[in-house]
Structure 1
Amino acid sequence: MPLVQVALLPNLIPGSASGSPMFEIAVVIDALRFTTTASQALHAGATQIRTASEVDVARSLAQQVRPALLCGERECRRI
């Protein structure tokens, strides 16, 4: 029977310290960073949060809604 294990940080993956992780497949979901950032933005006075799957879409949305603050990255580069 397949086993699903959860590790909140890469160094918490069993076997990662030895360089031989016990997993064959890893799935990464970056939900904590978004929810932390979004809740802080709302707390600081943001009236809405919009998400976009592509940088061009995000920039287009920012042009339609003023004032706008773009927050995000692609390949470790700010958008």
Structure 2
Amino acid sequence: MSQTTKTPTRETKSALVRRLLARKSGADLAALQDATGWQPHSVRAALSTLRKAGYTIDRLPPKKEGGAVAYRIAATPEAA
């Protein structure tokens, strides 16, 4: 009798980006870079890909003067 153990499915980087953007405070470019290990242009491309897929992404103003702009998912394709 053999026992099979399931390995947990690994979260993709795209799913990680969606999860970070779904937070109430959203995520800034630096946080997305740190989480994924991507370059800034790759993070911006991921944001563009989400928009093309039907996500509505809001651009939030910096919390303090000279701070970073944050991005947040405002609506998903299913909500449209």
Which TM-score applies when normalising by structure 1? 0.22
Bigger share in helix: 2
Query: What is the TM-score of this pair, normalised by structure 2?
Result: 0.22
Instruction: Answer with 1 or 2: which has the greater Rg.
Output: 1
More strand by share: 2
Greater relative contact order (Cα 8 A, min sep 6): structure 1 or 2? 2
